[in-house]
Structure 1
């Protein structure tokens, strides 16, 4: 018979959402374990491009219970500073993290959920899935993509302009990643920036603090039955962090309409205009990394699972945390994940106490 390890709660994912969940579970005295597929602390932050910085100052980019210290010489900390902070955070609170352990599937098993991993199985009374989206990059079905002979990278694979220096590069995507990577490449490559619509920059004085406040106000309005404020998307798509602002003001970020197909040597627009390219960087977003939950049969529209708050509809023993606004306002951000993590932990405590 297969031996199972057991915990009242298994948290899947040891990035920022998993750590926030662990903090609140510990405060409530719940027996839990965090299973993390990564070999080291830091979640997705240890895999980002070299120049990535936060949208907010350190004090406004903190997990519950521990302020992020400022980074010397930087208003907006870089990704390496975030990794150091997350490493310190899990050590400071002695969170029970087991790594590297990749969760393959979650099954119903009578009164428990069975969490299958490459290193054995766990039996849990409740599960928090906090795997994020970084591990499931999205590539649009653009005609001719397989015909292009040059380099194709997604955001997750891009590291530095030095890797593409002197080349003809097309960056695709009008969100924050697209703008930041286009700004990164603007000085050392022959850059074309292709977007579905004209880029919409937020006001230069808006950063992650204001975005979090706006997302929270929207959720409060919806919960109270008031009209939808439109959320962060109503303000714009791109936070004008200093490198983006500098490149934009220098006239280096001139977006072109989205092309309609790829050719062997480049791209083609609807009017037949073509441009040659050596590389294409797809900054086209992500989808929730939820394949491990497929055996539960809870899939909803666009790959989302239907939830009320963080709790899965159809499986009350499961909570989802950190995937975006559908699992809590700004829950995919450092500052935003604390509140839904607290709510999930309280709901789990109530469920376990009533069992």
Structure 2
């Protein structure tokens, strides 16, 4: 088994001062604080861990490699050019949206990120995003926060449609 990632995995302790980190994020309001608009680039997300994941990665089970550069049939091509037969590929949290098809519409900045404010497009009325890292808050790209952002996007789109 291989863990392929673009960047080194960063861990956060799941329990702090006797409570789960999610409890602290909700209790302090950090989970919903709309800081996304102040970030020029989203920081790397942490893996919330009770120490088992860090221990597994440190021990090499799974082995850790840079993300593959291509896939065809049942093989992946690694950054060193070698190819390897695989049984399955699971794309999990931490992926980046591939929105190149929006570039001709001016919806992306030069780095390929959506031009948006808190998930609402700055270039195309009626276009909204959901699930982007730090879209509005720390939890925007998680199950804890995507619902709040989706409700806001739906209200925005409904308003745009009512004006049409």
Pair in the same fold by TM > 0.5: yes
CA distance in 2, matches of 1:221, 1:293: 25
CA distance in 2, matches of 1:215, 1:305: 29
> Which deviates the most, 344-353 or 284-293?
284-293
Q: Please state if 1:315 is matched with 2:128.
A: no
Q: How many residues matched?
A: 142
Contact 2:31 / 2:139 at 8 angstroms: preserved in 1? no
Contact 1:204 / 1:240 at 8 angstroms: preserved in 2? yes
Report what 1:303 is aligned to: 112
Contact 2:119 / 2:130 at 8 angstroms: preserved in 1? yes
Distance 1:302 1:215, change over 3 A: farther
Report what 1:149 is aligned to: none
Contact 2:14 / 2:21 at 8 angstroms: preserved in 1? no
Distance 1:299 1:214, change over 3 A: farther
Distance 1:328 1:301, change over 3 A: farther
Q: Please report how far the alpha carbon of residue 209 of structure 1 lies from its aligned counterpart in structure 2 after TM superposition.
A: 2.3
2:11 to 201, 224, 243: 201
Give the TM-score, by structure 1 length: 0.30
1:262 to 60, 80, 83: 80
Which one has a bigger Cα radius of gyration?
A: 1
CA distance in 2, matches of 1:354, 1:264: 54
CA distance in 1, matches of 2:81, 2:161: 57
Q: Please report how far the alpha carbon of residue 348 of structure 1 lies from its aligned counterpart in structure 2 after TM superposition.
A: 2.6
Q: Please report how far the alpha carbon of residue 312 of structure 1 lies from its aligned counterpart in structure 2 after TM superposition.
A: 0.6
CA distance in 1, matches of 2:121, 2:127: 6
CA distance in 2, matches of 1:317, 1:204: 38
CA distance in 1, matches of 2:28, 2:142: 11
Q: Please report how far the alpha carbon of residue 301 of structure 1 lies from its aligned counterpart in structure 2 after TM superposition.
A: 3.5
CA distance in 2, matches of 1:232, 1:298: 21
Q: Please report how far the alpha carbon of residue 287 of structure 1 lies from its aligned counterpart in structure 2 after TM superposition.
A: 2.6
CA distance in 2, matches of 1:327, 1:222: 6
CA distance in 2, matches of 1:200, 1:311: 29
Contact 1:327 / 1:340 at 8 angstroms: preserved in 2? yes
Cα deviation, 1:99-146, whole Å, max 9, x if unaligned, reads: xxxxxxxxxxxxxxxxxxxxxxxxxxxxxxxxxxxxxxxxxxxxxxxx
Report what 2:142 is aligned to: 333
Distance 1:219 1:301, change over 3 A: farther
Q: Please report how far the alpha carbon of residue 300 of structure 1 lies from its aligned counterpart in structure 2 after TM superposition.
A: 1.0
Provide the alpha-carbon RMSD of the alignment.
4.7
Q: Please state if 1:173 is matched with 2:10.
A: no
Alignment of 1:65-76 (within 5 A): none
Alignment of 1:101-112 (within 5 A): none
CA distance in 2, matches of 1:347, 1:263: 46
Contact 1:203 / 1:240 at 8 angstroms: preserved in 2? yes
Alignment gaps of 5+ in structure 1: 1-160, 162-169, 176-194, 266-277
CA distance in 1, matches of 2:143, 2:31: 18
Report what 1:346 is aligned to: 155
Contact 1:322 / 1:328 at 8 angstroms: preserved in 2? no
Report what 1:289 is aligned to: 98
